[in-house]
Structure 1
Amino acid sequence: MAEIRIRNTDERIQGEENVRAFLESQEVLYEHWNPSKLREELQEKFVLSDEEKQEVLNTFDEEIRDLAARRGYRTWDVITLSEATPNLEELLAKFENVHTHTEDEVRAITAGKGIFIIKGSDDVGYFDVELTAGDVISVPENKPHFFTLMENKQIVAVRLFIEPEGWIAHPHNDPNFQK
């Protein structure tokens, strides 16, 4: 279940309804899907064949299509990252810079853990959203953020896009941001 850490105060927000309410106040969509729908062997597997990625999409097809219909997403895929990912550290270094997009950045975590660092309202500042299997988040277009892995460096996630070629990151230089 997602947990939030507000960086300025180190305050933690826990519990699905509290997390949802806080993120809603920051214009970030949060939902929770049932991760146990996924075949048990895939719940902790982080290197997937194309057939297994399709199985993930098929398992959550109803949820994906519902979210896509509500939010205008037209395409989706599965991303897997783990120690087995070639050039993982270089890839993460590229992710770990604050940026924006001209469309939402959506992740539905089906296995593992990840973290979004998001710029909130002026009174909140930056906050971390720690995500685990079942957590679904949509960071709105033009909201400064970045996504990275947590200490286990393993994740499987469904990504949804409006544009078929996916989102493009636009650097956001913020002197107030501290890693």
Structure 2
Amino acid sequence: MAVIKVRNTEEIIKGHDQVLSFLEKQGVLYEHWDMSKLQDGLKEKFILNDQEKEEILSTYKEEIEDLAGRRGYKTWDLIALSDATPNLDELLKKFEQVHVHTEDEVRAITAGHGIFIIKGDEQTGYFDVELEAGDVISVPEGNPHFFTLMEDRQVVAVRLFIETEGWVAHPYQETEEVGK
């Protein structure tokens, strides 16, 4: 279950209903998928071949198609990151800069952990959303944010797009330091 940390107040928000309510107020979609559907051998596997990736996508086909239908997403894929990923540190440097997209950034975590740092409304400021397997999040287009891995540096996630070109990161120039 996701945990939120509001940076300027150090408030911690836990529990499905509380997380959902907070994120809804910030315009961020949050859902939770049933991870018991996934084959045990794939629940903590972070180096995946194409067949295993297709198996995960097939397992969550209904959920993916439902979300895509509600939100207009037309294509999806699966990304697996771990210390075994070539050039992981270089890749993370690209993710770890505040940016915006011309469409939503959607992640459905199927294994491991990830964290979105999102700019909330003026009163809230930046907040961290720590995600684990089963958590689904959609950061709205134009909303400043970035994504990174947590301490275990392992994540597998379904990514959904309207068009993969729309997902290109556009740098966001902050008028004040992130976290304030």
When the two structures are superposed, what TM-score results if normalisation uses the length of structure 2?
0.97
- The AA in structure 1 aligned to 2:147 is F
- Distance in 2 of aligned mates of 1:69 and 1:102: 19
In structure 1, stretches of 5+ residues that fail to align are: none
Query: After superposition, what is the alpha-carbon deviation per residue over 1:136-177, rounded to whole angstroms, capped at 9, x for unaligned?
Result: 000000000000000000000000000144511000010323
Contact 1:74 1:164 in 2 (8 A): no
Contact 1:116 1:146 in 2 (8 A): yes
Alignment partner, residue 66 of structure 2 = 66
Q: Summarize the alignment of residues 161-176 of structure 1 with structure 2, pairs less than 5 Å apart.
A: 161-165=161-165, 167-176=167-176
Alignment partner, residue 146 of structure 2 = 146
Query: After superposition, what is the alpha-carbon deviation per residue over 1:97-128, rounded to whole angstroms, capped at 9, x for unaligned?
Result: 00000000000000000000000000000000
- Distance in 2 of aligned mates of 1:54 and 1:166: 23
Identity fraction in percent: 68
**Offset, 1:70:** 0.1
Alignment partner, residue 107 of structure 1 = 107
- Distance in 1 of aligned mates of 2:4 and 2:26: 12
Q: How many residues align?
A: 179
- The AA in structure 1 aligned to 2:92 is L
In structure 2, stretches of 5+ residues that fail to align are: none
- Distance in 1 of aligned mates of 2:74 and 2:175: 35
Alignment partner, residue 136 of structure 2 = 136
- Distance in 2 of aligned mates of 1:79 and 1:147: 13
- Distance in 2 of aligned mates of 1:144 and 1:166: 15
- The AA in structure 1 aligned to 2:67 is L
- Distance in 2 of aligned mates of 1:124 and 1:108: 24
Q: 1:166 to 1:111 in 2, by over 3 A?
A: farther
- The AA in structure 2 aligned to 1:72 is G
- The AA in structure 1 aligned to 2:44 is E
